[in-house]
Structure 1
Amino acid sequence: MASCVNTLATKVAAGQLCKAFGIKFNTNPQVVQLAKNAGFDSLFIDLEHSTLSIDDVSQLSVAGLLTGITPFVRVPHQCGNGFVQRVLDGGAMGVIFPHIHSSRKYPRIPAPWLRSLIPRSLEDAKAAVSISKYPPAGCRSMTGQLPVFSLKTTPQDRVIDESNTSASSVILMIETKDAVENVDEIAAVEGVDVLLVGSNDLAIELGVPGGFQTPTFRSALESVSKACRRHGKTMGLAGIYDNYEIQNWAINTLHVRYMLCAIDSSLIASGATRCIAALPNVEKSGRG
């Protein structure tokens, strides 16, 4: 088998929560060990909102493989087949695709002014699966010495079977009105593993920025949950941290089984703030 077990698959199969640690600032692979020590199950390596390079991502992914914490990578919106190929060849065991809109197939309309009237990212869900999987499930190109197989020469039929089955998770972000409206058909796409709610962008699109407790936002999450359960997909949640009430509702009512629990930059910022806030008390207690 591939050199790292896909903890998303094993956790979900056991009815447990797969806890993801986000990386957008730190390029030192030792941060992966710290995440593992803390009890995280997977990495959420962010290429959408960071300046990380492909090489940075590969080093972090390989560290995840060696440490036993499954590396997933969020790619930039509409980055294309070639970019996703490099992320997977670099060691990622799955790809997180932002700003999914639909899975519909629209007729080809050559006129630019007519094309502009069609919703963006046509067939987003199907395209995400296709560029993540080897034929016949998709169109990913074959190469040798892959990190998920410890850089060992591996028979192509084994690479195809094991990669398509457990080393190329497809995680689609639901963070637009279009996605919520089309969530049932998105969830029905074969090869999709997770529908991950991008809470901040979705709340903004719904007209309730930061309004995670509003009926509008909660209703959207309920729609995603129902679609996931109807089609046997995993529901994920990102963007809501340090809010036990919402997390409890998401896990125990909506059956969320994949959660982005923390981002390295946020942990540094909050830890630094707590450190400085505590200093006046230390200085006061030390007087006399």
Structure 2
Amino acid sequence: MASNEDLAIARDAIFPNTFKNTLHAGKIATSVMARAVTNHTVGQIAANAGFHAVMVDMEHSVVGLETASGVFASALNAGLTPLVRVPAAGAEWISRSLDGGALGVIVPHVNTAAEARAIVKYAKFSPLGERSISGGMPIFHLKSVPNVASSLVANEATLVICMIETQEAVDNIDEILSVEGVDMLHVGTNDLADSLGITGELGNEKIFETYQRISDAAARASVNGRKVYVGMGGLQGRPEVIRRLVNEDKNKLVRWISTADFPLYSQALEDCATNMNNMLD
């Protein structure tokens, strides 16, 4: 058992999870997905812009763990929470990404409670999971922290986020949320729409109905001090959909808005080029 002194050492050393703290304060938490630019400047750029987290996308990109760890460090040192969307639910992705400095792991295509349990197994230390203990962890400023305390404090700070992207996942949502160690849900709206038979129709009423169904399940799971929040992805460029999802959620749990960096950079560059190309009267 960790002593109060050991726990104090660990809690003093760990970077705060500002993304998680923002949600628990009842505010909207925002993240930008790093795909177009994945170097040491990303964290500070995102912090300057006002985001709460940087998500490194390893599912739909060729970004590797070494590059991702540089983005994690950038985010931590800029006061943001580094998140990672891994390509698969194996220890080689989940545990190593967390060892590299991520404070939250997002796993795509989680359809069953069994799949959720496997994620917790690799993402959380004992007693919640079976993640292997590692020294010199970036989330502890690379400081030496007593293992008995670092495991407990890391578990508190590290978010396990399951992506809900299919009708099967929605049908199994209560079972998925029954898994101890699952902290949040993230809805992949494009894949969900495809599964619902409304590909590309992100403003379809089925989307709003399904989000509410997911939020209701999160509300049922939010008991005994646990709070499960719901994030939305794939909706950049559809602010009217985002606004409605946030403001019509009676549970006030749809509180995480994520955007990809590609459209942001593309639009900014297009605006800049247009302005420069039209300088002549």
TM-score by length of 2: 0.89
Indicate the SS of the match to 2:182: coil
Out of 12, 15, 19, the position equivalent to 1:8 is 19
| CA positional deviation for 1:250 | 1.8
Letter in 2 for 1:258: W
Match of 1:144 in 2: 135
| CA positional deviation for 1:145 | 0.5
Q: For 1:25 and 1:52, how far apart are their aligned partners in 2?
A: 10
Q: For 1:207 and 1:277, how far apart are their aligned partners in 2?
A: 38
Q: For 2:275 and 2:189, how far apart are their aligned partners in 1?
A: 31
- 2:88 aligned with 1:88: no
Q: For 2:134 and 2:92, how far apart are their aligned partners in 1?
A: 13
Identity across the alignment (%): 35
Q: For 2:51 and 2:261, how far apart are their aligned partners in 1?
A: 13
Q: For 1:8 and 1:229, how far apart are their aligned partners in 2?
A: 20
Match of 1:47 in 2: 58
Q: For 2:137 and 2:276, how far apart are their aligned partners in 1?
A: 49
Out of 243, 261, 265, the position equivalent to 1:264 is 261
Contact 1:7 1:18 in 2 (8 A): no
Match of 1:112 in 2: none
How far does the alpha carbon of each residue in 1:14-71 deviate from its partner, in whole angstroms, 9 at most, with x for none?
A: 1111110110121221121010001000111100011111011101101111111000
Q: For 1:190 and 1:46, how far apart are their aligned partners in 2?
A: 25
Letter in 2 for 1:26: V
Match of 2:5 in 1: none
Where structure 1 has 5 or more consecutive residues not aligned to the other structure, the ranges are 104-122
| CA positional deviation for 1:139 | 0.6
How far does the alpha carbon of each residue in 1:214-271 deviate from its partner, in whole angstroms, 9 at most, with x for none?
A: 12222211111111111111111111013222111222222312120x2222212222
Match of 2:108 in 1: 98
Match of 2:8 in 1: none
- 2:246 aligned with 1:251: yes
- 2:202 aligned with 1:202: no
| CA positional deviation for 1:276 | 4.1
Q: For 1:22 and 1:227, how far apart are their aligned partners in 2?
A: 26
Where structure 2 has 5 or more consecutive residues not aligned to the other structure, the ranges are 1-10, 223-227
TM-score by length of 1: 0.87
Q: For 2:182 and 2:19, how far apart are their aligned partners in 1?
A: 13
| CA positional deviation for 1:144 | 0.6
- 2:66 aligned with 1:66: no
| CA positional deviation for 1:277 | 4.3
Indicate the SS of the match to 1:76: coil
Letter in 2 for 1:73: V
| CA positional deviation for 1:133 | 0.5
Contact 1:25 1:50 in 2 (8 A): no
Out of 162, 167, 171, the position equivalent to 2:153 is 162
Letter in 1 for 2:73: V
Match of 2:175 in 1: 185
Letter in 1 for 2:256: Y
Q: For 1:33 and 1:100, how far apart are their aligned partners in 2?
A: 31
| CA positional deviation for 1:82 | 2.3
Indicate the SS of the match to 2:27: coil
